[in-house]
Structure formats: structure tokens, C-alpha cells
Amino acid sequence: MLDPAARRELARLITRLANAGTQEVLAEPPPAITKPARRIGFTGPPGAGKSTLVGRYVERRASAGCTVAVLGIDPASPYSGGAILGDRVRMDDAAGNPRVFMRSVSSRDAFDGLCNNVADILLALDARGFDEIVMETVGVGQAEHAVKALVDTVVLLMQPETGDGIQALKAGILEVADVIVISKSDMPGAARMRENVAGTVRFGARRSAGWDVPVIGVSSEAGTGFEELEAALAKHAAWAGAHRDAGETQAMRTRYRLQDLLIRRLETVLDELAAAEVNAASPAALYDRVVSLLGR
Amino acid sequence: MSLTGKRILVAKPGLDGHDVGAKVIALALRDAGAEVIYTGLRKTPDYIARVAIEEDVDAVGLSILSGSHLELVRETQRFLREFKGENIKIFVGGTIPKEDNEALREAGASGIFNASQRIDEVLAEIDTLLSAPA
């Protein structure tokens, strides 16, 4: 459990990391991690009920004695760069728990539904010895694929009456989910949605990898389905521990971190190119020019 | 004027249940480039100060319509000090009689705003206060 001074110090470190440029973040000393936290990512479309569900889930875990860090990511305004970070409004009880550290961050320049230097922020949280780190994504764009690289278990939320099983199949996001939650399961249409999604998942690629993706109905409003969700997460943790290669997971996270840094470096380089230069050159010549600028 | 990179907590302490003003300010701050964390209604000064620390904000804006502004500002300031967040500035807005301004400043408020002020005036003042060295 963190005392006020440690909370303040961690809070400031996260601010520094979130603001750091690519060179600054590379210059940060790697944090010492003695006991890696279990990382769970919650994703799903805006309005699916992520914040409320995460709030309830975290409150339950904290009441059971776990220490939990929550990273809630909300979108930045493309016009002003500012953001309204409102995840806390729905996480009242959890956020007040002494075993919980909660931080809201803006997605800023990240277009994958996460935030700048998210890999480093997660490592900083990991170094504090939390039992669990829960990350909530913006829920749009390619969040599912990015979050997959960084967490142990991806929970995908879908709400009732948002299309049938084919819609879910088309979206292509079912492949990354380790656990699927049909949220607001007290609403009409939830049972049918659950059947549809379960029917689709049954034929998915994950099954052949040896993990049966559970589809669980959860109602944050009624407080139902949480035991089932916790059981599914525990089962997935055990499965992942037995079947996933730790070296491969580590490599995947490092690759994501590199990709994140390189994309931002690339954006800086592209911003440096004047319009006249861009319009005058062929795509092939521009490509070569950008590659050489990257190598500077 | 730009509040880019500034983090501001907009909070509703006490028992009044009207947060239109808080939301108007939150949106205006966002449009000025700030990252705004909103707490929701009826929070205690203790809770607000804890959130301010965890979110590492530059300022806390308290929206108060209940008449208990003096007490709530004083308490928020006390908890911020207790949690070593003395560098975090406090603004207060709402239904605040002018004669309370001096007492509010003594209690720890750096900026005091009321509903008759234009939003751009409010933003300009917040910008000035946050640009000043701590």
C-alpha cells in the first residue's frame, strides 16, 4: 500500500513520463521490477460501460486484499489537444480505496487508443509492486491490438443491441479478446447478444490455440456476473502461465515500445518536410528522404 | 493564451447537486488545451485532495453553490497541505458574495470566480495564475 508521499512521487513520475519526448524517455533508467503485476486491459466501444465496470471490478479486488493500479485513458480533443478525463466519475468507490492508485491520462498523440509512453508508464507502475494493473483504453481505433501487446489478459466489452454475431465477426476484434463481457446484461437483448457472440467465438482462431474464450454477461448496475468474470480472469491467468512463452511476451512488449517511439520520431520527421518539398518530389524519392532523415 | 499541458481537477465538494457550471468550465478549459479531470458530485475535501495528488494536477477548481464555500476551501487547502500538495492552486467558483472574497483568499483560494464573469476572462485569469512561479 502506498503512503501519501509515495503516491505523490509516483504521480509525478507518471506526469514526467507522459510528457517525455522520445530521447528523454530512452534516457530514463529502467525501473527495477521484483514482482510483475498481473496486467488486465479493458477495451470496447465508447459507452459500452468500461469505466463503471472497471470501477466495480477494482473495488471488489481491493476489498479482497489486492493492491490495484488503474490507468484510465480518455481521448484528447483533436482541436485543442485538451481532454476531459472523466473515468473517475464512474469509479468513485474504487478510487477512494487505500489499496487503489488511480490515474487518468489523455491519449494525446497516440492514435492506437492508448497514450504517449504507455509502455513506460506501465513499467513504472509495475515497479511499485501492485498485485494488478488495470488499463482502460479509449475504446476506438486499433486499441485492441495495441493493448494486446501490453497486458496479460484482454477483456473486450460489448453492449446489448449493437448488432448481431456477424457484426462481431466483421469487426475482427474478437480475435484479440481473451475474455468477452456482454455489459449491461440486465438490459433487453443481452441474452441474445451473448448467444450470438458465443456462437461466433466458438469458430474463432483462439479456440485452436487452446483457449476457449468465455462470453460473460455482467451488469454493473445490478452487480451481477462479477464472480464469473473474476473466475474467468483467474482461469485465463493460469492458462497463460502454462501456455505462453515468457520470452515471446517480453519481446512483444519491447517491440510495441519501439514501435511507439519510432512512430513519434517519424511524425516529427514528417512535420519537418515543407509542403513545397513534398509536392515536388516523387513518393519514392520522399520515402528515401524520410528514411535518411530518420537515420540522422 | 494556452493551457496546453496543464492538468486541472474540477471538483464539486459539498451537497449541492448542480454541476452545469462545473461542466461549462471543464469544457472551456479543455478547449483552451488543458487536461481536465472531473470528480462528479458531492465529494469531500479529503477525497478531492487525494485525487489532486494522484492526478498530479496544477490546480483544483471547486464549484460551490451551497453557501459553504469558506469551509470547503479551507478544508481542501488543509488536506492538500497534509498530503504535501501545497503547490497545487485552488480556484473557486459559484454563488459567492463579494464580501467573502478576502476570507476566501486567506483560506487558500488563488482565484475567485462568479457566474457574471465571461468565460474568456476566467480562462485568462487561470492562465495568469498558473503561469506564475509556484
C-alpha grid cell, residue A65: 486484499
Amino acid at A223: G
| Whether pLDDT at A10 is above 80 | yes
**B86 interfaces chain A, CB cutoff of 8 Å:** no
Q: How far is CA A223 from CA A52, A166, A227, in A?
A: 11, 29, 10
Testing the interface with A: which of B27, B30, B57 to mutate, by most A Cβ within 10 A? B30
Q: Quote the ipTM score.
A: 0.85
For residues B123 and B1, what is the distance between their CA atoms, to the nearest angstrom? 8
| Whether pLDDT at A273 is above 70 | yes
Average pLDDT, rounded, for chain A: 86
Cβ pair B90, B57 in contact under 8 A? no
* Helical spans, DSSP H, in chain B: 20-31, 45-54, 69-82, 101-107, 119-131
**B74 interfaces chain A, CB cutoff of 8 Å:** no
Compute and round to an integer the Cα radius of gyration of chain A. 20
pLDDT digits (tens, 9 = 90+) for A64-107: 999 999 999 888 887 888 888 878 887 877 777 889 999 998 88
In this complex, which of B3, B31, B35 lies closest to A106 when CB atoms are compared? Answer: B35
How many Cβ atoms are within 10 Å of A19's Cβ, its own excluded?
A: 13
For residues B21 and A173, what is the distance between their CA atoms, to the nearest angstrom? 39
The percentage of residues in chain A with a pLDDT greater than 90, rounded to a whole number, is: 42
What is the distance in angstroms between the Cα of B106 and the nearest Cα belonging to chain A? Answer: 25
In this complex, which of B4, B38, B54 lies closest to A7 when CB atoms are compared? Answer: B54
Q: Number of A to B CB contacts under 8 A, please give it.
A: 77
So where are chain A's domains?
4-244, 245-296
Q: Quick one: A4-244 is in which CATH superfamily?
A: P-loop containing nucleotide triphosphate hydrolases (3.40.50.300)
Q: How confident is the model at residue A171 (pLDDT cuts 50, 70, 90)?
A: low
- Identify the pLDDT of residue A238: 94
Residue B102: partners with Cβ closer than 8 Å, 6 or more residues away: none
Q: How confident is the model at residue B133 (pLDDT cuts 50, 70, 90)?
A: low
In this complex, which of A76, A90, A101 lies closest to B54 when CB atoms are compared? Answer: A101
pLDDT digits (tens, 9 = 90+) for A229-238: 999 999 999 9
Q: With an 8 Å Cβ cutoff, are B30 and A4 in contact?
A: no
**A14 interfaces chain B, CB cutoff of 8 Å:** yes
Domains in chain B and their CATH numbers?
A: 7-131 (3.40.50.280)
**Dihedral of the alpha carbons of A55, A59, A60, A63, in degrees to the nearest 10:** 180
